[in-house]
C-alpha cells in the first residue's frame, strides 16, 4: 500500500480553543496544504477549513490546549486533491473566463468568418493575418472592418506583394492598400486596391526675386536689401557684394567696414604692376596695380612677364583705393630689376620647404641640417683650425676658431671665435673662464677637448686628464680632443703647434743609457702625452766601441728583428770615437708613451731626444 503524504516544514502556534493557526518558516501554498487536509499536533488532530496564506490556517476551535512554536504534521487527505474534483474546478474557471464580456476569439487564416457556434454577446473575434474584426451581438458575429496598423513600404514596386495597411508612394501621393486579398501588379490610383492617404499638394506661387541684376558699384547711389537686394561688382577688385544694410553709398571701403556689404563672390582676376623693383627679400611696394582682387594676408608671387623665372613671393597687404600691394618677400628666384610684374596666388610653403634653385642656401639652421643629413658620419674625424697657443709664464691657453666632428661623428662642433681658458680654476663657461674638468691642477699632461651643449649649441673648451672620457659640464654631451698640453705648475709649458704637430721649444732628453743590450728593451718617453697614440718626433744618438754596431728604435707593436744591414736599423757605428752617430726619426708610441730599442752589440750608449709629436686627433 502507498503511505499517506504529509507536510511539516517550520513550527506553529495556536491558542486554546483558537481557530487561527500561525506558522513560522512554513510555506502553506495550494500544493503543500489545502482545505480538507488534517492538522496534527502531538496526539490531537483537526481538519483545516481554509488556507489564508503561506503562514496562516483556519481550523475549528482547537481542543488540544495552547501550543507555541511546536512541531506539527499536515496529512494530505483533502478531497480537493482528487484529480476529478480539481479538473472540474479548473473547467469552471475556464468557462467563467470564456463567458467574460470583451473576450477575444481568434479566427484561423483559412476561415472567412468566425465559427457561428462560438462566442457570446459582447465578445470579439480577430483574424491577425488580415486584421479583420467581428463583434458578437444578438447571437451572431457582425463584421466591424479591418483593424491593422500602417506599414510604410516606400516608393511603389510593381513586383512587390501588398496587403491591407501597406502604404506606398506614387508621383508624390501616398496610397494605402484596402483590398482584403493581398496582391501585386496593381499600380495606383486603382480604387479597387488603393485609397489616397495623403495627396500631393498644388504647386505654390512663384516667390519674389531675391537679388537684382549685378551692376558696377557707384558712389551717391541708393542701395537696398530688397527683395530684390542690390548686388554690385567692385570696379577695381571685381569682387561681388550683396547689400545687407540699406544706405546711400559714400566711399566703398567705409561702407564695407561698416558692415553694409557682404562679399558673396571672390574674383579670380590677378593683378599687374609696372613698378621697377629689384629681386630681393624684405618689403617691396608695387604701385599702379590694376585688375586685382585680394584680401590682406594673401600670399602672392610677382613674376617678370618677360622673364618668368625671375620672381619674388611673400605675404601681402593691399590698398584698393591707392592701388598698392605691399609684399613681404621671403622667397626669390633669379636676380635683376624688372618693371613688368604679373601677380599670381601661391600657397604658403610648408615648414622646412626649400627651393631647388637656392641649392640649400635657404636652410634656416645649416648646422642642424648638416647633422640631420649625416654629414659628420661621412667626414668622421674632420678637424680644421682650433690651433692652440701657450705663451710662456701664463696660465692661459688660447684656442683658435675652427670646426671638428665630435668623438662619435654624430654632430659638428664649431668654435666661432678664439677662446682663452685658465688652468687655475675649474671649468666655467666663456672666455677667460676656468678649464679644468675636475680636481686641482697638477704638473703633467692635460688633454684639451672641444665641447658642445647640443640643446643650446654653446661651444667651449675643457682640459682633462682623460683622453677619452672627460668629466663634462652639465648640458654638454659632445666633445672632441683637439690636442694635449703640458702644465708645469702655475703656467703652461710653451709648445709650437704646426697643424697636427706639437714641437717643444727646447730639448727634452727622455732616454739616456750606456747599456742598450742585444735584447729588446722598452723605454717611456715622458715628453709625449699619455693615453693616446702619437708619433714621437725623435733625435736618436748611439755609440759603441765596436765597429758596425747597428741599433734601432721602433714601435712597441712592430714585429721585432735583430737590427742589421739586411733588416735595417736606425743608425750604425762607423768609428771607435766617442762622437757616435745621430738619426732624426718618427716612432709611434703606445698608450703608455712607450717605444722599444735594441742593438747588435751589448753596452751601446743610447740617447733619445724628444723634439715633439704628431697627434692624429682620434683619426687612428
Residue 562's pLDDT is 84
For residue 381, what pLDDT is reported? 77
Q: Cα(197)–Cα(557) distance, rounded to whole angstroms?
A: 109
Instruction: Decide whether 151-198 matches 215-265 in CATH topology.
Output: yes
Q: What is the model's pLDDT at position 44?
A: 93
Pairing between β-strand 240-243 and β-strand 261-265 as defined by DSSP bridges: antiparallel
Fold of the 501-614 domain: Jelly Rolls (2.60.120)
Which residues are CB-neighbours of 440 under 8 A, at least 6 positions away? none
Residue 270 has pLDDT above 80, yes or no: no
Q: Where are the domains of the chain?
A: 6-84, 104-146, 151-198, 215-265, 272-356, 375-496, 501-614
What secondary structure letter does DSSP report for 555? -
Q: Check pLDDT > 80 for residue 570.
A: no
Judged against a pLDDT cut of 70, whether residue 364 lies above it is answered with no
298-312 pLDDT, tens digit each? 899 999 999 999 999
Which pLDDT belongs to residue 568? 76
Beta bridge partners of 332: 312
Q: What does the pLDDT average to over 223-249? A: 88
CA angle 18, 22, 25 (to 5 degrees): 160
Distance (Å, whole) CA 61 – CA 64? 9
pLDDT band at 360 (very low <50, low <70, confident <90, very high): low
Question: What stretches of 208-298 adopt beta strand conformation (E)?
Answer: 215-216, 222-223, 231-233, 240-243, 247-248, 261-265, 272-273, 277-278, 282-286
Q: Give 3's pLDDT tier (boundaries 50, 70, 90).
A: confident
**pLDDT over 90 (residue 511):** yes
CATH 2.60.40 for domain 215-265, yes or no, is: no
Kindly report the number of other CB atoms within 10 A of residue 92's CB atom: 10
Q: What is the pLDDT of residue 434?
A: 93
Share of the chain above pLDDT 70, in %: 90
**Residue 455 pLDDT exceeds 60:** yes
Share above pLDDT 90 across residues of the chain, in percent, rounded to a whole number: 49
Give pLDDT, residue 4: 83
**Would the pLDDT of 86 be above 60?**
no
Lowest-pLDDT range of 295-299, 324-328, 567-571 = 567-571
- 151-198 has CATH 3.30.1280.10 classification: no
Q: Is the pLDDT of residue 92 over 70?
A: no
d(CA 618, CA 242): 76
Q: What are phi and psi of 494, to 5 degrees?
A: -65, 140
pLDDT given at position 253: 83
Answer with the residue of higher pLDDT: 617 or 174: 174
Rg of the Cα atoms in the chain: 58
Q: How confident is the model at residue 594 (pLDDT cuts 50, 70, 90)?
A: very high
Band (pLDDT 50/70/90 cuts) for residue 82 is confident
Looking at domain 6-84, which CATH architecture does it have? Beta Barrel (2.40)
Does the predicted model carry a pTM greater than 0.95?
no
Q: What is the phi/psi pair of residue 541, to 5°?
A: -115, 130
- DSSP codes of every residue in 72-135: -EEE---GGGSHHHHHHHHHHHHHHHHTSTTPEEEPPTT-SS--TTS--TT-EEEETTTTEEEE
Q: Distance between CA 457 and CA 475 in Å, rounded?
A: 10
pLDDT at 422: 92
Helix (H, G, I), strand (E, B) or coil at 416: coil
Residue count of the chain, please give it. Answer: 620
Residue 248: pLDDT over 90: yes
Amino acid at each position: 500500500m502507498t503511505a499517506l503524504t504529509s507536510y511539516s516544514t517550520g513550527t506553529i502556534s495556536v491558542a486554546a480553543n483558537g481557530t487561527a493557526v500561525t506558522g513560522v518558516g512554513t510555506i502553506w501554498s495550494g500544493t503543500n496544504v489545502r482545505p480538507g487536509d488534517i492538522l496534527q499536533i502531538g496526539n490531537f488532530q483537526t481538519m483545516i477549513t481554509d488556507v489564508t496564506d503561506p503562514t496562516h490556517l483556519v481550523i475549528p476551535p482547537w481542543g488540544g490546549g495552547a501550543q507555541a512554536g511546536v512541531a506539527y504534521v499536515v496529512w494530505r487527505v483533502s478531497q480537493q486533491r482528487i484529480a476529478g474534483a480539481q479538473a472540474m474546478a479548473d473547467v469552471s474557471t475556464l468557462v467563467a473566463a470564456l463567458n467574460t464580456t470583451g473576450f477575444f476569439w481568434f479566427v484561423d487564416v483559412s476561415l472567412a468568418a468566425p465559427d457561428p457556434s462560438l462566442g457570446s454577446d459582447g465578445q470579439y473575434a480577430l483574424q491577425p493575418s488580415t486584421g479583420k474584426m467581428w463583434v458578437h451581438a444578438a447571437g451572431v458575429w457582425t463584421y466591424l472592418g479591418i483593424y491593422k496598423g500602417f506599414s510604410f513600404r516606400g516608393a511603389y514596386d510593381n513586383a512587390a506583394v501588398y496587403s491591407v495597411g501597406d502604404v506606398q508612394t506614387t508621383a508624390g501621393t501616398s496610397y494605402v492598400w484596402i483590398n482584403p486579398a493581398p496582391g501585386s501588379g496593381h499600380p495606383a490610383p486603382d480604387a479597387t486596391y488603393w485609397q489616397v492617404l495623403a495627396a500631393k499638394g498644388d504647386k505654390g506661387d512663384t516667390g519674389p526675386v531675391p537679388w537684382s541684376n549685378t551692376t558696377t558699384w557707384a558712389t551717391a547711389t541708393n542701395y537696398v536689401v530688397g527683395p530684390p537686394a542690390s548686388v554690385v561688382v567692385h570696379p577695381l577688385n571685381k569682387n561681388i557684394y550683396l547689400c545687407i544694410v540699406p544706405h546711400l553709398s559714400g566711399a566703398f571701403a567705409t561702407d564695407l567696414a561698416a558692415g553694409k556689404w557682404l562679399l558673396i563672390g571672390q574674383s579670380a582676376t590677378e593683378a599687374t604692376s609696372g613698378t621697377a623693383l629689384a629681386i630681393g627679400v624684405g618689403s617691396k611696394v608695387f604701385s599702379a596695380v590694376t585688375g586685382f582682387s585680394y584680401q590682406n594676408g594673401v600670399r602672392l608671387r610677382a613674376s617678370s612677364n618677360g622673364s618668368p623665372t625671375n620672381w619674388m613671393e611673400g605675404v601681402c597687404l593691399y590698398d584698393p583705393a591707392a592701388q598698392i600691394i605691399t609684399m613681404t618677400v621671403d622667397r626669390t628666384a633669379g636676380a635683376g630689376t624688372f618693371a613688368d610684374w604679373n601677380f599670381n596666388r601661391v600657397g604658403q610653403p610648408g615648414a622646412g620647404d626649400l627651393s631647388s634653385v637656392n641649392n640649400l642656401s635657404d636652410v634656416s639652421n645649416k648646422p642642424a641640417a648638416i647633422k640631420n643629413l649625416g654629414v659628420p658620419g661621412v667626414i668622421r674625424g674632420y678637424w680644421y683650425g682650433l690651433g692652440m697657443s701657450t705663451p710662456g709664464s701664463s696660465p692661459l691657453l688660447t684656442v683658435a676658431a675652427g670646426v671638428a666632428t665630435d668623438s662619435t661623428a654624430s654632430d659638428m662642433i664649431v668654435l666661432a671665435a678664439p677662446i682663452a681658458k685658465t688652468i687655475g680654476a675649474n671649468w666655467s663657461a666663456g672666455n677667460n673662464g676656468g678649464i679644468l674638468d675636475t680636481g686641482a691642477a697638477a704638473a703633467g699632461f692635460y688633454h684639451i677637448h672641444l665641447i658642445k651643449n647640443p640643446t643650446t649649441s654653446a661651444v667651449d673648451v675643457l682640459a682633462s686628464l682623460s683622453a677619452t672620457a672627460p668629466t663634462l659640464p652639465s648640458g654638454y654631451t659632445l666633445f672632441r680632443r683637439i690636442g694635449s698640453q703640458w702644465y708645469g705648475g702655475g703656467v703652461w709649458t710653451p709648445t709650437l703647434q704646426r697643424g697636427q704637430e706639437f714641437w717643444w721649444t727646447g730639448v727634452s732628453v727622455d732616454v739616456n743609457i750606456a747599456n742598450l743590450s742585444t735584447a729588446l728593451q722598452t723605454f717611456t718617453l715622458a715628453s709625449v702625452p699619455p693615453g693616446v697614440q702619437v708619433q714621437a718626433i725623435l733625435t736618436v744618438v748611439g755609440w759603441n766601441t765596436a765597429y758596425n754596431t747597428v741599433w734601432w728604435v721602433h714601435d712597441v707593436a712592430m714585429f721585432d728583428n735583430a737590427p742589421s744591414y739586411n733588416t735595417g736599423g736606425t743608425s750604425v757605428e762607423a768609428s771607435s770615437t766617442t762622437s757616435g752617430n745621430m738619426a732624426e726619426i718618427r716612432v709611434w708610441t703606445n698608450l703608455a708613451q712607450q717605444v722599444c730599442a735594441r742593438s747588435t752589440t751589448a753596452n751601446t750608449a743610447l740617447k733619445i731626444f724628444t723634439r715633439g709629436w704628431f697627434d692624429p686627433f682620434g683619426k687612428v
